[in-house]
Amino acid sequence: MQPSAASATPNKGGKISFAFKAKTAPAPAPKPVPDLAQRMLAREPPQRAAEPPSRNRMPVGPPPKFKSEPRFDRRDRDRDRERDRERERDRRERERDRARNDRRDFRDSRNYRDTREPRGPREPRSMREGRRDDRRFDSPRTERPRGDRKQDFRPDRRPERSPEPRKQIKIMTRIKPRPVLSEEFANSDSVYYRKPGNESVIGAGTYGKVFKAIHVYTQRKVALKKIRMEGEKDGFPVTAVREIKLLQHLRNNNVVSLLEVMVERNECFMVFEYLSHDLTGLINHPTFTLTEAHKKDLAKQMFEGLDYLHHRGVMHRDIKAANILISNRGQLKYADFGLARFFSKSRQLDYTNRVITIWYRPPELLLGETRYGPAVDVWSAACVYVEMFTKKAVFPGEGGEISQLDKLYNCLGTPNRAEWPDLIEMPWFELMRPTERKKRIFEEVYGEILSPAALDLISHVFQYDPAKRPTTGQILAHPYFTTEEPRPQQAIELENIEGDWHEFESKALRREKDKERRAEYQRDKEKRKVAPLAPQSDRDAKRIKAGSEHQSDSAQPAE
């Protein structure tokens, strides 16, 4: 250790002393005391080194730090307050229910002033009721001293009052007076009145009869089609079932509407809307005649209705003038769907060929074809159209297939394989092979009756091959309906016709005329028989008298 530098310090006695001082290190400075944040930071684990990014692992950084906002704190505070209010409200309700149940247990049934409601035998003691309950038996609140009373801002605080009695809504129903029926309808035992006997019959056939009736309350005219039930193995005719099913799915201005099906006195009726005429009755009307514009309009409606049926996949299979109804305003509608069937547009199905009235039946059905389509309806509609001009059937056979085919061959000529490739494949072709070749004379016979456009249209329809016949859409686009004059005009003049004209009335009128004609013929025949038996003297006297008159006339001079 090296001696330190000497320092001379004077003493009190004036002497100077020399002392040696050792060299020492200075005192260390006090360490600063770390605060809480530094101590917490020292306790945290050391940070890990950043790892290189991986394809399957996304880099994860420190969680984001959200800044505290006053609005979030206020929202939490409001939620806590609401939760406290709910708890307090539930506690008060439990106490109120418990107090009410206690009072209901001790109700005195002998005291009429005790209005407390007793609890039922199956009602639990601690039944939880809703908030809107009867508070008439709640205990009054305990009054606290005025100094301890604090203001209460609870939103559910309500004044204590007795509940209002529930208002009973009375529905006042006025009894509708029963309509007074006329003397004619008062004695009717049905809601549809029809005249007794055969006065109300407007049609008859194999299916049954059709009656004209009137609804006794609404005064609406309807047609009642009586379904014939005799001799049915299944109890109900399948044709009626098909007709009802089809008409429930068809809604068109050119299709008759089925209103309802009625059972009355063990008889079943189909209730249709009533139309005053059918095409057969109008064609044979003694005074009214359809104009060219009327006929064109009826033909257009006929093919429009047929186009609707074919688009819905329905074949009528019984089109004739008697099954086409016409209203007083000239509206045409198809009726009698007893033979109608659905057909498939994608594949051919087998049907019976014993359909369509034989005068309107196409040649393929006459030759026994069972795989056919809507072309059979087009042929029948064309026959009806020509009948409007001639007032008689265009191919009136004698009732059999051979006779009907002869009528076709005489007018349309004998078919060959060039015109009809499938001719020899018809089931009955060998049985009904034509014996001689005949020429087509249809255009010559009807050229003076039909207009040029109408003749061209019908000539295209009356083809033996059903594949070559035009469809209903092509027929409606023909120049006969689009460009040729006169334009179609609805027959509104039918309102002026007196009475209803159907096939039934026209047949009755025809029978009366035939009866009168036969009676007149019989009278003439009797007169011819009586004339030779007259005395000779009378005949001579008449001859002499006639001769004298002739001579006197010839003797007078000419002026």
- The total of other beta-carbon atoms located within 10 Å of residue 110's CB is 5
Catalytic residues: 318
Q: Which residues of 4-16 are buried (b: 16+ CB within 10 A; e: fewer)?
A: eeeeeeeeeeeee
Closest to 323 in 3D by CA, of 370, 383, 251:
383
* Reduced 3-state DSSP string for 86-97: HHHHHHHHHHHH
CA nearest to 226, candidates 270, 260, 276, 275: 270
CA distances from 291 to 473, 481, 494 (A): 25, 15, 12
In Å, what is the CA distance from 327 to each residue of 283, 444, 496? 14, 35, 12
Q: Are strands 258-264 and 332-334 parallel, antiparallel or unpaired?
A: unpaired
Are 369 and 389 within 8 A, CB to CB?
no
Euclidean distance between CA atoms 322 and 278, whole angstroms: 6
Token pair for 284: 């044979």
263 and 243 in contact (C-beta within 8 Å)? no
Q: SS3 sequence, 452-479?
A: HHHHHHHHHHCCCCHHHCCCHHHHHCCH
CA distance 494 to 288: 9
CA distances from 508 to 130, 225, 297, 324, 487 (A): 81, 20, 28, 19, 35
**Residue 512: what residue type?**
E
Q: In this structure, are residues 346 and 322 in contact, taking their beta carbons and an 8 Å threshold?
A: no
The closest of 414, 439, 441, 418 to 429, measured between CA atoms, is 414
Q: Mark out the alpha helices in 336-400 (DSSP H runs).
A: 363-366, 375-390
Question: Locate tokens 């704190």: which residue?
Answer: 73
70 phi/psi in degrees, rounded to 5: -65, -30
Residue 225, marked binder: yes
Token pair recorded at residue 52:
């290189």
The span from the CA of 462 to the CA of 460, in Å, is: 6
Tokens of 61: 């950084």
Under DSSP, is residue 402 helix (H, G, I), strand (E, B) or coil?
Answer: helix
d(C-alpha 157, C-alpha 96), whole Å: 15
Q: Give burial (CB, 10 Å; 0-12/13-18/19+) of 331.
A: middle
Beta bridge partners of 501: 277
**270: β partners:** 225, 261
Name the residue among 326, 316, 391 with its Cα closest to residue 361: 316
Task: Read off the amino acid at residue 517.
Answer: R
Q: Which residues are annotated as a binding site for ATP?
A: 225
Q: Which residues are annotated as a binding site?
A: 225
